[in-house]
């Protein structure tokens, strides 16, 4: 998205510092990074967001359940829930 914004002097200084410290980072990249960092920090109480990783675990199978017929499985679960 393209837009025009007016930066306060202190914010402009921060963007320039980010550009200098970012190995040739462009103005656009510096502003986007600063906004993202601020957004995630405010959501996480000041800490940068950590990447969420799902750790898979084997749940096993049950020999008396036919996993090819999911509608039957759902009906069975519904019946157990209503007991």
Which has the closest alpha carbon to 33: 46, 20, 22?
22
Share of the chain above pLDDT 90, in %: 13
Higher pLDDT, 50 or 48: 50
Higher pLDDT, 9 or 61: 9
Say if residues 34 and 15 touch (Cβ distance below 8 Å).
yes
Rounded-to-integer distance, Cα 58 and Cα 8, Å: 54
pLDDT band, very low/low/confident/very high, at 49 (cuts 50, 70, 90): low
* Model-wide pTM > 0.85: no
């Amino acid at each position: 998205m393209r837009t025009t914004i007016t930066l306060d002097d202190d914010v402009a200084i921060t963007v320039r510092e980010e550009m200098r410290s970012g190995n040739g980072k462009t103005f656009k990249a510096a502003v986007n990074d600063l906004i993202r960092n601020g957004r995630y920090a405010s959501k996480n109480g000041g800490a940068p967001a950590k990447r969420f990783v799902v750790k898979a675990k084997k749940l096993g199978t049950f020999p008396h359940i036919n996993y090819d017929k999911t509608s039957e499985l759902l009906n069975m679960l519904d019946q157990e829930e209503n007991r």
